[in-house]
Structure 1
Amino acid sequence: MKITAGITLCVTSIALRVASAWPDAPGFNSAGLVSSSDLPKVQMPAFRKDTLTISTFGAVADGLTMNTSAINKAVEQCNRAGGGVVLIPSGLWLTGPIALKNNVNLHLATGALVQFTNKRTEYPLVHTTWEGEEAVRNQAPISGTDLENIAITGNGILDGAGDAWRMVKKSKLTADQWKKLVASGGVVNDKQDAWYPSEQSLKGAMTTIKAGQTPAYYEEIKDFLRPNMLSFTRCKRILLEGITFQNSPAWCLHPLLCENITLRNVTAKNPWYAQNGDGLDLESCKNGLVEGCTFDVGDDGICIKSGRDEQGRKRGVPTENIVVRNCRVYHAHGGFVIGSEMSGGVRNLYVSNCVFMGTDVGLRFKTTRGRGGVVENIFVDGVDMTDIAGEAILFDMYYAAKDPVPQQGESNELPVIPAQPLSESTPQFKSFQIRNVRCKGAETAILIRGLPEMAVKDILIENAVLQSRKGFVCIEADNIRLKNVALISPAKTLMHIQNSHNLTLDNIRYTDSTDLLMHIAGDRSKDIKLLNTNMSHAKKTVETTTEVTANVLTMK
């Protein structure tokens, strides 16, 4: 009950600030503004005190004995008895996949290390999902489907043996690391730029995998079909607390179509080079709290999803009513991320008091044509960042499934792309409130990049101090407001605006070394306001291309 009260307090304070600071904002009027009756209320699981210890069922903590049967028997017995706690004591416990059951709290004592086996044959193929679409994959090390009242708690560690599953790009290792990896076994592809743990894994990478095939088809590429470490599907009242989840084969924590999920003081760790090594992926989930958690992973840190393309739209279940607060993200492609699989929609998210250190991107919102879906009513208040390799704040509707920071020799520049007709597959980003953000070191402070047929809309960024190499880039956007924003950048041109309209730039602060304050391009750029800004620090205030109308900019 205390947790619910905490969520209500947190979200109410943000909602009140939104109402007072931007009362006329589209989507936040008296009919649409989040009120106390709309706030998420996360229901917590509750368990009987009865405790079963896995050693009672024959489990042995020697790192050699396979304890799969003993652990699952303990879980099943606890479930049959009406629920309670299954205790994993201190020690090294080797096991295959664990299937959780209703009303069971799997509790790892301090000093407990559960090591999932690296023998891929121990993980049977199952019907599940992969990156937002139906798929056949290996069974997750920890899984549960259609469950209620479940938990994994304690101060122990769960290790997913991910090194036995993952391919590794040569470009992400030093020469000595690559040499050691190749010598350890496995195979290298023809280009000699990627290592795979087995011939079967390499075959899978070279195969265009089709759905609805025979079991024999998937068996031939089984090693390639990496599981997510924790997979909960259609479960209700979930608690993950205190545990360290590490070394996942793919995504680390993946609740799908779940309700009332709480993550408290959880740590997710993957090697920085871990392909698809996300920390947390909440997909089509409702009512959640993520607080006090730490992520240090190989892909996105805290990620919000809701299915991919046509299947995601057909499912039509958004991720909604999620609070993320007091979390830390170290290495990751993005600190807090939405997308790119967001075809079922995302709404009513509240992020506060988070720290991102060394992530490729800080706040990363990504999608692409074909996804569809609407992302709206996103509130961010209080994010501190250091050493961001790419953008501090990114809205990108041209996501291309590449690393956010280009490898040597690569480019992330877009080709010229014409507008396409609007359809159900056109994605939308709108109604974001981002406040009190500080960043010390990034490539770009803010990049907003919409589609010619669908602008990024209704964005407020207020009270920000962003130190970066490049300043503000805004392409195909509508109703963007920057208020009290410091762009601390050595860039000769501070702000680039292209085919964007209804922009308000209020009290923009910048360095004396700026040559050009604003460059405006595109025949659809209009209604740009520069307010309460000292223009004397720049050698020149504005420069426009020939197709821009003469009255595009108003200065006061």
Structure 2
Amino acid sequence: MEELKVISTTSTTISFELKSSKPYYLEKKYQLYVNSDYMGDVDRSVWTVKNLQPSGQYEITLKNEKTGERLTVFQQTKPETAYINVKDFGAVGDGKRLDTFSIQAAIMACPDGGRVYFPEGVYLIYPIFLKSNITIELGKGAVLLGAKEREMYPILPGEIDSQEFKNGYLGSWEGETNNMFASLITGISVENVNVIGDGIIDGNSSFDTWWYDAKVKRIAWRPRTVYLNKCKNVLIEGITIKNSPSWTIHPLMSQNLKFVNLNIENPKDAPNTDGLDPESCKDVLIVGTRFSVGDDCIAIKSGKLSVSQKLPMPSENLIIRNCLMEYGHGAVVIGSEMSGGVKNVHVENCIFRKTDRGIRIKTRRGRGKTGVIDEIHASNIRMEGVLTPFTINSFYFCDADGNTEYVWSKEKLPVDDRTPYVGNIYLKDITCIDTQVAAGYMYGLPERKIERVDMENIYVNFDSNAKPDYPEMLSFVEEMCRNGFYLNNIKKLKLKNVIVENAATEPFIKLNIDEEYVE
């Protein structure tokens, strides 16, 4: 019997997850009833019931007419102290008039426990700032549309004068303190916030604006679409976020976060438009979300060495479940900015479709001794048309010094304060079809090998029409096509029922493995 559980509740929405052995989609379709009223069919593991009443008691039932199966949950929505319509504060929503000040006034006027509502319309805005203890709801047909003139965006300084670095760390760019533009939705030290609904947050970016010559800093670095700095207890649920100037959702030094049933869309060629990048965050749930982006779908980070020396704050306790990742550079990625460490990550019941890499770990010398990656678990995943499903790259050639000999050397260098660590990696029950470049590419440092890699019930089948490409981003690697697993510099390697079919090379190339277990 499948299990139906509540994963988030607000005053007007309830999100559910139906446990299933099939990733993302359900094995069979159900009919959804709310208080005996038929609401439509459900074919995905995660969905949201919307447009409910505050403090309402609801009976949620799933029925399968063919099997007679019936699953019911009783759930009460949360109370609400106030309802505020942004149009009552002067917002027009015609896509022409700037509505920023009207919307900000509505947010600031909203009492604790209240809800700020956006009815149908296109609201042209510059960045708006969240405050604690409120809900933002985008109704059906509501669009928050980013204005294009960067000169009008507020700037968040990289660091403000503060007695403690954590309190002063404000603006960020690729793992370091740096001046950045405020994001369309910016939260700084807020808590107990919900951003929910049927609507859209559109960064309105293009190759004529934010994506043009993207690696050049103009006034300040590009904004995100949603930026959460030192926030707690935040739920983002149900909405679509698209056309982001850079990373779409970027939580930094935040905790107790839920990202539920989202749709994140950026063009495949849009630079640095990662989907969701938790950085130095704790207790994060990402569930039921679809990604189709121009860079990594999910990239878990924890800053570069300069930040970790002041504040070594890891990303830890992250769950990614029942998500669909499409077209990104990597589906679930760790690094390369990981100097604070990344620990205890679980990726479950997901589909990766036509991403460059699947489970991807990238680090390099210079990330530091606090750059510990450990207890990474991935299970029950289906990969379709992924170039290289599994990679661990300890020679990632990013940053100004990325092509120096210190980074690319395959010689055994001294272990010092700049040397990162890759610990225990567990991969289980994963099917990869129409694979292109290599089954896997795992290359640890000779002076500090990957501690442990366990692969169990892994099936990789190659596309007969695959084209050559690079398995990972490091100096001097050659293009590959339909290669098996390349495994180098690993202390403990366990292979149980790992099958590679239709490869153009041997299934496994193993170098510098200290202990190996094959079943």
Correspondences of 1:411-490 after superposition (within 5 Å): 417-442=410-435, 443-468=437-462, 469-490=482-503
Correspondences of 1:164-175 after superposition (within 5 Å): none
What do the CA deviations read for 1:512-554 (whole angstroms, capped 9, x no partner)? xxxxxxxxxxxxxxxxxxxxxxxxxxxxxxxxxxxxxxxxxxx
Q: Secondary structure at the match of 1:163?
A: coil
Contact map agreement 2:210 2:222 (CA 8 A) in 1:
no
1:236 to 220, 232, 238: 232
What do the CA deviations read for 1:234-276 (whole angstroms, capped 9, x no partner)? 1110000001111110000001111110011011111111111
Name whichever structure is richer in helix by fraction: 1
Contact map agreement 2:461 2:503 (CA 8 A) in 1:
no
CA RMSD of aligned residues (A): 2.4
Match of 1:384 in 2: 382
1:119 to 145, 149, 154: 149
Match of 1:265 in 2: 261
1:326 to 313, 318, 322: 322
1:72 to 65, 85, 104: 104
Contact map agreement 1:166 1:274 (CA 8 A) in 2:
no
**Aligned counterparts of 2:143 and 2:375: Cα–Cα separation in 1:** 40
What do the CA deviations read for 1:201-235 (whole angstroms, capped 9, x no partner)? 78x45xxxxxxxxxxxxxxx31x621111110111
Q: Secondary structure at the match of 2:278?
A: strand
Do the aligned partners of residues 46 and 459 (structure 1) sit closer, same or farther apart at CA in structure 2, a change above 3 Å counting? Answer: farther
Give 5+ residue unaligned stretches, structure 1: 11-44, 169-194, 206-220, 403-413, 507-556
Match of 1:148 in 2: 191
Match of 1:51 in 2: 83
What do the CA deviations read for 1:361-394 (whole angstroms, capped 9, x no partner)? 01111111101211111111111011112x1111
Match of 1:497 in 2: 510
**Aligned counterparts of 2:207 and 2:122: Cα–Cα separation in 1:** 19
**Aligned counterparts of 1:112 and 1:164: Cα–Cα separation in 2:** 25
**Aligned counterparts of 2:492 and 2:294: Cα–Cα separation in 1:** 34
Q: Secondary structure at the match of 1:110?
A: coil
Contact map agreement 2:343 2:373 (CA 8 A) in 1:
yes
Contact map agreement 1:320 1:348 (CA 8 A) in 2:
yes
How far 1:166 moved relative to its partner? Answer: 5.7
Q: Secondary structure at the match of 2:180?
A: strand
Contact map agreement 2:300 2:333 (CA 8 A) in 1:
yes
Contact map agreement 1:301 1:333 (CA 8 A) in 2:
yes
1:399 to 396, 399, 409: 396
Q: Secondary structure at the match of 2:383?
A: strand
TM-score by length of 1: 0.70
Correspondences of 1:359-370 after superposition (within 5 Å): 359-370=355-366
**Amino acid across the alignment from 1:392:** P
**Amino acid across the alignment from 2:115:** V
Q: Secondary structure at the match of 1:69?
A: helix
How far 1:458 moved relative to its partner? Answer: 1.1
1:83 to 113, 118, 121: 113
Do the aligned partners of residues 416 and 346 (structure 1) sit closer, same or farther apart at CA in structure 2, a change above 3 Å counting? Answer: closer
What do the CA deviations read for 1:415-445 (whole angstroms, capped 9, x no partner)? 6532221122211111121100010122111
How far 1:146 moved relative to its partner? Answer: 0.8
Do the aligned partners of residues 475 and 165 (structure 1) sit closer, same or farther apart at CA in structure 2, a change above 3 Å counting? Answer: farther
Q: Secondary structure at the match of 1:282?
A: coil
Match of 2:29 in 1: none
Q: Secondary structure at the match of 1:493?
A: coil
Correspondences of 1:196-215 after superposition (within 5 Å): 196=213, 204=216
What do the CA deviations read for 1:323-348 (whole angstroms, capped 9, x no partner)? 11000001101011111111111111
Do the aligned partners of residues 46 and 454 (structure 1) sit closer, same or farther apart at CA in structure 2, a change above 3 Å counting? Answer: farther
Q: Secondary structure at the match of 2:423?
A: strand
- Does structure 1 residue 104 correspond to structure 2 residue 134? yes
What do the CA deviations read for 1:43-64 (whole angstroms, capped 9, x no partner)? xx96624110000000002111
How many residues were matched structurally?
411
Match of 1:533 in 2: none
**Amino acid across the alignment from 1:75:** I
**Aligned counterparts of 1:156 and 1:100: Cα–Cα separation in 2:** 17
How far 1:2 moved relative to its partner? Answer: 4.3
Name whichever structure is richer in strand by fraction: 2
How far 1:314 moved relative to its partner? Answer: 2.9
**Aligned counterparts of 1:4 and 1:265: Cα–Cα separation in 2:** 10
What do the CA deviations read for 1:263-297 (whole angstroms, capped 9, x no partner)? 11011111111111100001111111110001100
Q: Secondary structure at the match of 2:117?
A: strand
**Amino acid across the alignment from 1:240:** I
Structure 1 ranges of 4+ moved more than 6 A: 4-7
- Does structure 1 residue 92 correspond to structure 2 residue 90? no
How far 1:131 moved relative to its partner? Answer: 1.1
Contact map agreement 2:148 2:209 (CA 8 A) in 1:
no
Correspondences of 1:514-553 after superposition (within 5 Å): none
Do the aligned partners of residues 357 and 377 (structure 1) sit closer, same or farther apart at CA in structure 2, a change above 3 Å counting? Answer: same
**Aligned counterparts of 1:120 and 1:54: Cα–Cα separation in 2:** 24
- Does structure 1 residue 281 correspond to structure 2 residue 277? yes
Q: Secondary structure at the match of 2:507?
A: strand
**Aligned counterparts of 2:182 and 2:454: Cα–Cα separation in 1:** 43
Seq. identity, %: 35
Q: Secondary structure at the match of 2:277?
A: strand
Do the aligned partners of residues 328 and 422 (structure 1) sit closer, same or farther apart at CA in structure 2, a change above 3 Å counting? Answer: same
TM-score by length of 2: 0.75
**Aligned counterparts of 2:345 and 2:509: Cα–Cα separation in 1:** 29
How far 1:484 moved relative to its partner? Answer: 0.5
Contact map agreement 1:231 1:254 (CA 8 A) in 2:
yes
**Amino acid across the alignment from 1:139:** A
**Amino acid across the alignment from 1:477:** I
Contact map agreement 1:47 1:104 (CA 8 A) in 2:
no
Q: Which structure has the bigger radius of gyration? A: 1
**Aligned counterparts of 2:512 and 2:221: Cα–Cα separation in 1:** 43
